Amino acid sequence: MSKRILENPFIELQGVTKAFGRTPVLQGLDLAVARSEVACIIGPSGSGKSTVLRCINALTPVDSGRVEVAGIRVDSARLDAQALRKRVGIVFQGYNLFPHRTVLQNVMMAPIQVLGRERSEVEAQARALLAKVRLTGKENAYPGELSGGQQQRVAIARSLCMQPEVMLFDEVTAALDPETVKEVLSVIQEIAAEGMTCVLVTHEMRFAQEAADYVYFMDQGRVVEHGSADALFRAPQDARTRAFLDKVL
């Protein structure tokens, strides 16, 4: 399938390759996401989805190809990774909250320490974000006192408190109880509705179908098929996409 052409992509990967040792993981990957768009990456385990997200915020350096995010050349040898990561938030399956810090402290820490912002201003924002992720009243709780879904929402609020322009979500609901998955997904949907550019790796096909503007299906380090959520789920073109969707839908 030919690559997606966007006039003004906010995130663009072109011909990206990456190998770990002798194992090729990304094999000429093309991907483009517009500003304020919600893009989902789906595909079998091991197809390279997490690696794509890690290449977008420079946690994993690419071997070749071009990566540009919010006007920053991520593949440049002179990349300022700190500057990039201020603009690109990432939330993982494991929430990685500091267990001996309260919910509020977890959210406030990075904006104060990394961005040097003023404490009272950060606190006001942190409280507002905790309200947005529906955790008002939990400000002084410790992570261990919260459910998985609540901890994940703290992790999302913490990431948002850095005021990023892009949010990456890597299977953020994969470890959650089914009844808490929805509360996390609806928070993500709200963030997206407010115009945040979001790239999600997810196994939640119904969520992808409903919330994504655009969907990439990956297999073996390549984008096999891409299209609007509507087109890709209703009428997948490639046999590999069909086989995958048959299994997971």
Name the residues that contact ligand ADP, by CB under 6 A: 20, 25, 43, 45-51
Q: Which of 47, 50, 150, 151 binds Mg ion (CB under 5 A)?
A: 50
Nearer of residues 161 and 200 to ligand ADP, judged by Cβ? 200
Give residue 32's identity as a one-letter amino acid code: A
For residue 20, the minimal CB distance to ligand ADP (Å) is: 3
Q: Which two structure tokens, joined as six digits, stand for 58?
A: 């420079």
Note whether 202 binds Mg ion by CB under 5 A.
Answer: no
Q: In this structure, what token pair is assigned to residue 28?
A: 């000429």
Cβ 50 to Mg ion, closest distance in Å?
A: 3
121: left (phi over 0), alpha (psi -120 to 50) or beta: alpha
Residue 46 or 195: the one with the smaller Cβ distance to ligand ADP is: 46
Say if residue 238 is exposed, middle or buried (CB neighbours under 10 Å; 0-12, 13-18, 19+).
Answer: middle
Instruction: Enter the tokens of residue 48.
Output: 């390279």
DSSP E strands in 34-144: the ranges are 38-42, 64-69, 72-73, 88-91
User: Which C-beta is closer to ligand ADP: that of 48 or that of 111?
Assistant: 48
d(CA 86, CA 51): 19
Token pair belonging to 182: 């929805």
**Considering CB distances under 5 to 8 angstroms, the limit depending on partner class, which of Mg ion, ligand ADP, none binds residue 25?**
ligand ADP
Judged by CB under 5 A, the number of residues near Mg ion is 1
Residues 104-163 that bind Mg ion (CB under 5 A): none
Residue 51 binds Mg ion, judged by CB under 5 A: no
- Minimum Å distance from CB 34 to Mg ion? 24
Nearer to ligand ADP, 15 or 24 (CB): 24
Q: Strand, coil or helix: what is 80?
A: coil
Shortest Cβ 95–ligand ADP spacing (Å): 18
Choose between 50 and 173: whose C-beta lies nearer to Mg ion: 50
For residues 88 and 56, the answer to whether their CB atoms sit within 8 Å is yes
Structure tokens that stand for 32 in this block: 């483009």
What residues line the site for Mg ion (CB under 5 A)? 50
